[in-house]
Chains A and B, each alone.
Chain A
Amino acid sequence: MNRLKTTWQEIVRFWGEAEAGTSMALVRIGIALCVVYDLLHIWRLNLVVPLFAGEEHGGWSHVMTRTVWPMWIEWFGATELSGVALHASMTLAAVALLLGFRTRMAAAILLFLWIQWTGILPTGDRGIDQLIRNILVLMVFGDFGRTLSVDALARTGRWADPTPVSVWPRRLVLGQMILMYTSAGFLKSGLTWWPMGGFAALHFALQDPSVAAYDFGWTRAQPWFFITQIGTATTILYQCTYPLVLLLFWWRRYPERAGRIGRIANGYRLEWIWLLLGAWFHVNLGLVMNLGIFPWAMLALYPAWFTSEEWHRWSARWLPLRANSSPPTDDSGRGSVPA
């Protein structure tokens, strides 16, 4: 019973810890930048009406033929004007999120409008859109606009506000990453991802004109095919072993319980393997495949790997402007001050 109580107290402490909001602000800025870019890209391609309006008004959606309409359609119809207004509203909300202006409200509005758009054009919605909506839910409840934001400027007269905020949203962002990568690994049912399929998945993906950025017909020849095999095997290994990151975080949090392997992992900061491999993987995807904002929005989540204290230390070392002050957090990843 005592052990159960102690565990529960530890859980309460874990979810109650606080740190400066820098990590979360960086996630917010990165995600919002991707969304703003994507929406402006749609406008630049002159695709606002096709993607946001009903087919009676020059769009592609046949939302009006459905029995249940999204709220936006019930209120404003599926006309060209309503489509343009939905796009403009989403863009404004995304810019507000980027600037950290009424941050939670901006996240809530963007989430609501995005759900409306998905109701209008479900086939336009890709995995990364769903992932960003999951993160927007966290931004509605978490304090992602505490620092590096207009909200901070209005509150303190400075862009940076080192006041501690609850760290649980950052931990849930990390949890989302771990869940996504792990799920992506375990759900890879195609034979070509595995040894019996010759690790040929990446080669085949590069032959698909829908998603390849260039003509990669030459990867059929060696040594290029072998390189794609290494890429495939690494991807599978990387994604299926992602849950180990949790263990590594556990060892960092409780070094006294780490044991010999845990101490080695802590000493070499083995989590960097997953971090760097992931970054390498996404940058490469961004270069060779045509997946829109997917790789960049994934990378935008990576600041959540680090505590705000670490960001402050690095910015003090590398940027000419030193961070004004940092809250007293320790280096164990436990945070230090109760929320």
Chain B
Amino acid sequence: MRGLRDRWPQIRAAVLCLVVIGNLLQAIPFPRKTVEDDKRAEWRKGDVELWHSWLAPTGIVGSRAEFQEQVVDAYLALREAGNWVQAPVRPFFSTIRTTQQWGLFAVVTEKPERLVVDVEVDGEWRRISARLRTEYPWENERFKYRRVRGTWDTIHKDRPAPLYEAFCRWTARRAFADYPDAARVRVRREQFVASAPWEKLDDTVTPSNERILDRGKASLWALR
């Protein structure tokens, strides 16, 4: 026991060094997603094309198809290495549900989306909520809260956020309560194009994930 106490400073230093090393390992941005065999030729086609066009004149890479294969192989090897290197620390980070990779605004969208809510009164749609439009302030305080944003905002193009349906029903219930004359409530995301000064202005608005709910649908919870 006494020996352990005498050695405590060394043990503490060793443990803390391991803590630092573990966190550094977790910070390495190894790729996580795999590439299916049938998608190898299409994987990151644009990026690979660009790199190939830069490297081809140097003569160190072969044909475009060979280069695609090499890049995918290297990517998968890196992913495998990451799986192996981060295996000792993964249980800790998955238990406390955290990470050491902080991609804060790593990619900023040039096609942002706005959550909008409309109510149908006497057969006409009337806008009640649109973020950052002061003329449509309904539920702005709630919709702008960061945890609420996570229920409707998603980077996936092909599907809505996981909790979107529940969020829409909740929104509709509140809208029906605040607008008793409303027959239906419409919730959707509207994508628009933000442009830099050197780009042409583009007024295109593309709606997506539109959900129209009547009072019956709004009160259902198992709608998925």
Q: A166-225: which residues lie under 8 A (CB-CB) from chain B?
A: 168, 172, 175-176, 179-181, 183-184, 186-190, 192-193, 198, 200-205, 207-212, 214-215, 220-222, 225
Q: Give the number of residues in B that approach A within 8 Å (Cβ atoms).
A: 61
Neighbouring A residues of B141 by C-beta, 8 Å: 45
A60 to B110, CA, bound (A): 29
A124 to B148, CA, bound (A): 7
Query: Do the beta carbons of B196 and A179 come within 8 Å of each other?
Result: no
Tell me the total A-B contact number using a CB cutoff of 8 A.
Answer: 189
Decide: A115 near B96, CB < 8 A? Known: A60-B151, A126-B146, A292-B146: yes
Query: Do the beta carbons of A179 and B23 come within 8 Å of each other?
Result: yes
- B170 at the A/B interface (Cβ < 8 Å)? yes
Query: Do the beta carbons of A220 and B166 come within 8 Å of each other?
Result: no
Q: Give the number of residues in A that approach B within 8 Å (Cβ atoms).
A: 76
- B81 at the A/B interface (Cβ < 8 Å)? no
Smallest beta-carbon distance B12→chain A, Å:
6
Query: Do the beta carbons of A291 and B146 come within 8 Å of each other?
Result: yes
- B206 at the A/B interface (Cβ < 8 Å)? no
Query: Do the beta carbons of B221 and A55 come within 8 Å of each other?
Result: yes
Q: Which residue of B lies closest to A44 (CB)?
A: B141
A334 to B148, CA, bound (A): 45
Query: Do the beta carbons of A208 and B194 come within 8 Å of each other?
Result: yes
Interface locus among A98-106, A127-135, A265-273, A302-310: A127-135
Interface locus among B65-73, B98-106, B117-125: B98-106
Smallest beta-carbon distance B131→chain A, Å:
4
- A330 at the A/B interface (Cβ < 8 Å)? no
Query: Do the beta carbons of B166 and A15 come within 8 Å of each other?
Result: no
A200 to B108, CA, bound (A): 9
- A258 at the A/B interface (Cβ < 8 Å)? no
Q: B163-193: which residues lie under 8 A (CB-CB) from chain A?
A: 163, 166-167, 170
Q: A183-B101, A204-B109, A210-B112 are in contact. List 20 more A-B contacts (CB 8 A).
A: A15-B12, A15-B16, A55-B166, A59-B166, A61-B166, A62-B166, A111-B96, A118-B97, A125-B147, A172-B20, A175-B20, A175-B23, A187-B101, A187-B103, A202-B108, A205-B105, A208-B109, A209-B131, A209-B132, A210-B115
Sample 17 A-B pairs with CB under 8 A, ordered by A number. A8-B13, A50-B170, A59-B166, A119-B97, A123-B163, A125-B150, A172-B19, A172-B20, A179-B23, A180-B100, A183-B101, A184-B104, A192-B110, A204-B108, A209-B115, A210-B112, A215-B132
